[in-house]
């Protein structure tokens, strides 16, 4: 016999202490989704410097004439804060991917009884992948 639970509204954030694993997964998925779509708009804005770059626009950086797209991207990548934000973006993307896979499985009715465990697994794996990626993301930059 199937069993259902009425856990109340997830939108009612004031009840966060009562939230179950699935409700946290829902909230994290929403939060990471908001970050990713916000980033996509920013990403295209930054990459738009390639339009000038394609027309041969240049800018002087440290006495060197650089393509405006190259200068913009390398200028941003030279900032420690941007590198930190990139690590954060990676964490957000990895969680959204892993939890998204979990949601696709739930939609297909696979592993429903382990949906809380798979949420914890998504969190642990996100943490592990993020920590392991830190050296790569912080190469060649100083505070």
Partner 1 sequence: MAERYSSFTPGGTGWFLQRITAAFLVVVLAFHFFLLHFVNHAYEVTFMGTQTRMQNVGYFLTMVLFLITATFHGVNGVYNALVNQGLEGGRKKAVLAVLTLASVALVAQGIYVALAMRGMI
Q: Name the region of 61 (left: φ>0; alpha: ψ -120 to 50; beta: rest).
A: beta
Long-range contacts of 97-105 (CB under 8 A, 24+ apart): 98/122, 98/125, 98/126, 99/25, 99/28, 99/29, 99/32, 100/29, 102/25, 103/29
In angstroms, give the least distance from the CB of 44 to partner 1: 5
Which residues of this chain interact with partner 1, rule CB under 8 A? 4-7, 9-11, 30, 33-34, 36-37, 40-41, 44, 47-48, 50-51, 53-54, 67, 69-70, 73-74, 77-78, 86, 90, 93, 97, 100-101, 103-104, 107, 133, 136-137, 139-141
Comparing C-alpha atoms, which of 45, 70, 46, 44 is closest to residue 57?
Answer: 70
In angstroms, give the least distance from the CB of 139 to partner 1: 7
In angstroms, give the least distance from the CB of 37 to partner 1: 3
- Please identify, using beta-carbon distances, which residue of 74 and 110 lies nearer to partner 1: 74
């Amino acid at each position: 016999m199937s069993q259902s639970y009425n856990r109340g509204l997830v939108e009612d954030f004031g009840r966060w202490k009562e939230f179950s694993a699935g409700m946290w997964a829902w909230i994290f998925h929403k939060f990471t989704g908001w970050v990713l779509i916000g980033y996509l708009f920013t990403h295209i804005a930054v990459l738009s410097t390639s339009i000038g770059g394609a027309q041969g626009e240049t800018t002087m950086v440290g006495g060197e004439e650089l393509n405006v797209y190259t200068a913009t991207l390398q200028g941003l990548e030279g900032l420690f804060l941007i590198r930190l934000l990139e690590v954060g973006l990676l964490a957000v993307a990895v969680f959204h991917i892993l939890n998204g896979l979990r949601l696709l499985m739930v939609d297909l009715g696979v592993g429903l009884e382990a949906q809380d465990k798979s949420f914890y697994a998504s969190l642990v794996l996100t943490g592990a992948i993020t920590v392991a990626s830190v050296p790569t993301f912080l190469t060649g930059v100083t505070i």
